[in-house]
Structure 1
């Protein structure tokens, strides 16, 4: 039988970096994505380029706590 406990995968949140500092965006708010990360293979924080609906362009999304 498999042990139950802390798995290697955990759910993380990616948040747009430009939404916080840009007052000239299309709409109010901060864009967030959720994804899964393997904590054994990727120990550093993730940075992915994703589409932000508030900025209406592709921006860097960083992992938040």
Structure 2
């Protein structure tokens, strides 16, 4: 059921995190506030393809 997705920082566009998402329950793209080691700050991370 769960598929692997990659999260990308919206500020510096680096792909920092891998996670899993159930695509049946969550059809829209994930947006999470996570720590970016390149920006050295908590920023919004969006799901990429």
TM-score, length of structure 2 as denominator length: 0.93
Which of the pair has more CA radius of gyration? 1
1:38 to 2:12 alignment: no
Higher strand residue share: 2
Q: Render the CA deviation track for 1:36-64: whole Å, top value 9, x for unaligned.
A: 00011100000000000000000000000
Conserved in 1, the CA contact under 8 Å of 2:10 and 2:44?
yes
Q: Render the CA deviation track for 1:23-45: whole Å, top value 9, x for unaligned.
A: xxxxxxx2420000001110000
The count of residues paired between Structure 1 and Structure 2 equals: 49
Which runs of structure 1 show a deviation greater than 4 angstroms over 4 or more consecutive aligned residues? none
Higher helix residue share: 1
**CA RMSD, Structure 1 to Structure 2 (Å):** 0.9
In structure 1, stretches of 5+ residues that fail to align are 1-7, 21-29
In structure 2, stretches of 5+ residues that fail to align are none
Q: Secondary structure at the match of 2:12?
A: helix
